[in-house]
């Protein structure tokens, strides 16, 4: 690179790093700061390219060329594949600066990605290497390399969250291009991923039993998808689903309009009949013919249980704890405390496994998965452990930080969320 071009290249690099920092945050000012920094970085890169080619960067008088004029110059002799996206970026920047425009997170990340692609081409012409930390490659930030039992469930440019799974079916919520909406997606085995949510709808927090998917509509309400027929049915205009089993959907907050709150109800999809389980409480989970949930008892969170079909069955207090994850005769749960511990007990409270610091337990058979905060508060461990043999325990540092929930264990795998180097969550599978 010619010496005259280097100051502009360095200014561009600083601005790209500044944009990268703001693109990973969610404060109201961050989208605007990201776009302004990207636009400045592009202008500096264009001027660096022109100067490196031996061309002038002056337009007339004491004014230097703007982005549009510089783009016209650099398109020949070199063709920049992402040049058109820079024109869109500059229009977005003008709208922000002159008309106080609004930028949603998904659009900003699209602009960030296209700008980095353009920047990568520009760096190549200048004979420089694009810094790895600015590139957009979805991967485990702390666990890349050597983890051959990890696979990315579905590669996406957008946020993925709220993972749930049953059998070979995994579901999640995913961001959309040029929108702040989330859509529900499903994937079975090695089949292609399938977007379930229609365009223009906002749905997330999906639950599946492998045959159907129940999801929460942002405006309030429960939608159920049949994975075989792809039929979509809105079964309630209020509340949100917390579990799905056969013909039953567990719903919380059904008596609350326009939001998600407490109170447990069960919908029988065959008969369309509702059963109120509790006026308060949340996080309901099915386990065969019973349903478990958490609710306050005085100042403590307590796990409760009752039968699904027994009309007069009174709730039974199981034990003091939170985040119930029942599986057969065992129950995984966490203390409700500033530094919670994960336990696995029998339904009568006999401890099978305890003393493990963690949150968001998920139990399937004799396999337990949960998250554990690390000394660095920004990092989380994923821990997968055998209940039958406490020695069989694997830990993966720097993974598993959830946007919507903790890990999910199925027969042969653990699904979880982890941030990639875009600082967006992705859905991963760990093969048992």
Give all domains of the chain, ordered by start, each with its CATH number: 3-134 (1.20.120.330), 150-431 (2.130.10.10)
In the prediction, which pLDDT does 73 show? 79
| pLDDT exceeds 60 at position 4 | yes
Rounded-to-integer distance, Cα 252 and Cα 238, Å? 9
Instruction: State the pLDDT confidence band at 293, using cuts at 50, 70 and 90.
Output: very high
Strand partners, 394: 384
Question: Residue 140 pLDDT more than 60?
Answer: no
| Residue found under tokens 């809105």 | 234
pLDDT (mean) for 177-194: 91
**β pairing state of 160-166 and 169-175:** antiparallel
Element (H, E) at 297: strand 290-297
CB count, 10 Å around CB of 90?
A: 19
Predicted confidence band of residue 7 (pLDDT cuts 50, 70, 90): very high
Q: What is the signed CA dihedral for 413, 415, 416, 421, rounded to 10 degrees?
A: 90
Give the global pTM.
Answer: 0.69
Of residues 145, 203, 198, 193, the one with CA closest to residue 173: 203
**Rounded CA separation 354/331 (Å):** 12
Residue 161 preceded by cis peptide, ω within 30: no
In the sheet that holds 300-307, the strands lie side by side as 282-287, 290-297, 300-307, 316-320
pLDDT for the residue 326: 97
pLDDT of res. 65: 84
Element (H, E) at 1: none
Q: Looking at residue 145, what is its pLDDT?
A: 38
pLDDT surpasses 90 at 185: yes
Q: What is the mean pLDDT of residues 170-193?
A: 92
What pLDDT does 76 receive? 59
pLDDT surpasses 80 at 144: no
d(CA 208, CA 246) in angstroms, rounded, equals 10
Residue 394: the pLDDT is 86
Q: Is the pLDDT of residue 160 over 70?
A: yes
Mean pLDDT score of the chain: 86
Residue percentage of the chain with pLDDT more than 70: 90
Q: What pLDDT score was predicted for residue 259?
A: 72
Query: Between these two residues, 390 and 216, which has the higher pLDDT value?
Result: 216
Is the pLDDT at 91 greater than 90? The verdict is no
Q: Is the pLDDT of residue 325 over 60?
A: yes
pLDDT reported for residue 139: 45
């Amino acid at each position: 690179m010619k010496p005259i071009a280097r100051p502009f290249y360095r200014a561009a690099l600083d601005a790209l790093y500044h944009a990268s920092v703001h693109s990973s945050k969610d404060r109201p000012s961050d989208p605007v700061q990201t776009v302004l920094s990207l636009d400045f970085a592009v202008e500096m890169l264009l001027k660096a390219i022109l100067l490196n080619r031996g061309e002038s960067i002056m337009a007339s008088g004491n004014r230097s060329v703007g982005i549009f004029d510089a783009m016209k110059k650099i398109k020949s002799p070199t063709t920049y594949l992402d040049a058109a996206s820079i024109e869109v970026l500059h229009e977005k920047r003008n709208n922000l600066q002159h008309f106080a425009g609004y930028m949603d997170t998904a659009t900003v990340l699209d602009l960030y990605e296209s700008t980095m692609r353009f920047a990568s081409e520009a760096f190549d012409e200048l004979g420089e290497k694009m810094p790895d930390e600015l590139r957009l490659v979805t991967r485990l930030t702390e666990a890349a390399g050597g983890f051959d039992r990890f696979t990315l469930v579905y590669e996406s440019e957008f946020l993925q969250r709220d993972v749930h799974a049953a059998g070979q079916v995994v579901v999640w919520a995913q961001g959309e291009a040029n929108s702040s909406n989330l859509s529900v997606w499903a994937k079975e085995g090695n089949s292609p991923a399938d977007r379930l949510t229609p365009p223009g709808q906002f749905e997330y927090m999906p639950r599946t039993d492998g045959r159907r998917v129940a999801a929460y509509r942002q405006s309030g309400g429960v939608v159920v998808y049949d994975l075989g027929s792809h039929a979509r049915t809105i079964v309630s205009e209020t509340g949100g689903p917390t579990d799905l089993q056969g013909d039953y959907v567990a719903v919380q907050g059904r008596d609350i309009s326009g939001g998600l709150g407490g109170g447990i109800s069960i919908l029988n999809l065959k008969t369309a009949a509702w059963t109120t389980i509790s006026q308060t409480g949340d996080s309901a989970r099915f386990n065969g013919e019973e349903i478990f949930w958490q609710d306050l008892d005085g100042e403590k969170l307590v796990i409760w249980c009752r039968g699904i079909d027994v009309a007069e069955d009174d709730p039974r207090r199981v034990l003091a704890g939170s985040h119930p994850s029942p599986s057969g005769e065992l129950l995984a749960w966490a203390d409700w405390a500033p530094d919670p511990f994960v336990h696995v007990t029998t339904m009568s409270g006999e401890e099978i496994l305890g003393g493990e610091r963690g949150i968001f337990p998920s139990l399937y058979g004799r396999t337990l998965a949960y998250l554990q905060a690390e000394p660095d508060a920004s990092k989380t461990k994923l821990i997968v452990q055998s209940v039958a043999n406490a020695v069989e325990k694997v830990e993966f540092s720097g993974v598993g930080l959830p946007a919507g929930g903790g890990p999910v264990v199925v027969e042969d795998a653990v699904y979880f969320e982890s941030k990639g180097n875009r600082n967006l969550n992705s859905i991963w599978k760990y093969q048992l």
